[in-house]
């Protein structure tokens, strides 16, 4: 079994003082027993990098990236800049980007391409709305979102891709998908990665959506769940550490 990956997605939260306090608590706990990354807002990336001790094993990530390489794109941040700064990961296609900022499947695919070309590890998010689940088209929606990414990354290193299944109705809502629901979608994503990327590629598939200390162990025990993408609980050091320990199987 490969080491699990736990990624904190701070979203648009934090402050210089608050981040220092949170990371101070998180890094006090030596040896988390799983891979860990923190995806901070752009203005705080350098601060997070400077606070994380080199041997903490905690990687840095961003929450968004431009689909373009350079040039006249006011307000955008390129993958090369993130890589230059020391980011390892970038979240791509989070449902909040898709729904609030109108990122369609093609944009998500091109952002994934930009990230891969710059040597970043894109964490590509997919997931259905509650209406789509009620209509029984969850697997269809997720497959469509994955196919759109595959269409843009020909010839690039698919080994670097991390996928995150995040049912939109479970994000920030306190509702978590059941182990059975998660198992079904993750199995379908695994079948997709083996078909499209090849069976020699071991893509990590994270689950995200109201992961908390109380449900993390159960979710991480589901077959094909290789870790978690953690929103709200990543802002509370005790909760984030408890989720990391659950991922480590402690
Ligand atoms: P949540 O967010 O853990 O607060 O539900 C997860 C995410 O949006 O990545």
For residue 119, the 8-state DSSP code is T
Q: Which residue stretches of 124-236 are H helix? A: 130-134, 138-150, 179-196, 213-220
DSSP structure string for 54-98:
GGG-EEEEES---SS-SSS-TT---HHHHHHHT--EEEES-HHHH
3-state DSSP assignment of residue 2: coil
pTM: 0.96
Residues ≥6 apart with Cβ < 8 Å to 39: 7, 8, 9, 10, 60, 61, 62, 63, 89, 90, 91, 123
d(CA 103, CA 111): 10
How far away, in angstroms, is 210 Cα from ligand 1 center?
6
d(CA 138, CA 109): 19
Q: Which of 35, 67, 94, 103 is catalytic?
A: 94
Residue 166 is a catalytic residue: yes
What is the position in ligand 1's atom list of the atom closest to the CA of 173? Answer: 5
Asked whether the predicted pLDDT for residue 31 surpasses 90, the reply is no
What mean pLDDT comes out for the span 47-62?
90
Q: Do residues 64 and 73 touch, judged by C-beta distance below 8 A? A: no
- CA-CA distances (angstroms) from residue 128 to 145, 147, 235? 10, 15, 25
Q: 98-127, pLDDT tens digit by residue? A: 999 999 999 999 999 999 999 999 999 999
Q: What is the mean pLDDT of the chain?
A: 95
- CA-nearest residue, atom 1 of ligand 1: 231
Q: 157-193, pLDDT tens digit by residue? A: 999 999 999 999 999 888 889 999 999 999 999 999 9
- CA-nearest residue, atom 6 of ligand 1: 231
Asked whether the predicted pLDDT for residue 1 surpasses 70, the reply is no
Asked whether the predicted pLDDT for residue 34 surpasses 70, the reply is yes
Residue 94 is a catalytic residue: yes
Q: How much is the CA Rg of the chain, to the nearest whole Å?
A: 17
pLDDT of residue 120: 98
């Amino acid at each position: 079994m490969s080491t699990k990956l736990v990624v904190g997605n701070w979203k648009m939260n934090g402050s210089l003082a608050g981040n220092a306090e949170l990371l101070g608590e998180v890094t006090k706990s030596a040896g988390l027993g799983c891979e860990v990354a923190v995806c901070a807002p752009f203005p705080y990336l350098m601060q997070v990098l400077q606070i994380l001790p080199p041997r903490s094993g905690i990687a840095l990530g961003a929450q968004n990236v431009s689909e373009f390489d350079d040039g006249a794109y006011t307000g955008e941040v390129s993958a090369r800049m993130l890589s230059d700064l020391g980011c390892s990961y970038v979240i791509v296609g989070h449902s909040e980007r898709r729904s609030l900022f109108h990122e369609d499947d093609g944009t998500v695919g091109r952002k994934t391409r930009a990230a891969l070309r710059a040597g970043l590890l894109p964490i590509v998010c997919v997931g259905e709305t509650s209406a789509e689940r009620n209509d029984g088209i969850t697997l269809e929606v997720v497959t469509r979102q994955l196919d759109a990414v595959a269409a843009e990354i020909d010839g690039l290193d698919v080994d670097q891709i991390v996928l995150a299944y995040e049912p939109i109705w479970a994000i920030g809502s306190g509702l978590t998908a059941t182990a059975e629901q998660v198992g079904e979608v993750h199995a379908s994503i695994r079948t997709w990665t083996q078909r499209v990327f090849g069976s020699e590629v071991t893509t990590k598939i994270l689950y995200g959506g109201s992961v908390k200390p109380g449900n993390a162990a159960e979710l991480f025990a589901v077959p094909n769940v290789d870790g978690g993408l953690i929103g709200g609980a990543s802002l509370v050091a005790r909760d984030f550490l408890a989720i990391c320990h659950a991922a480590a199987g402690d």
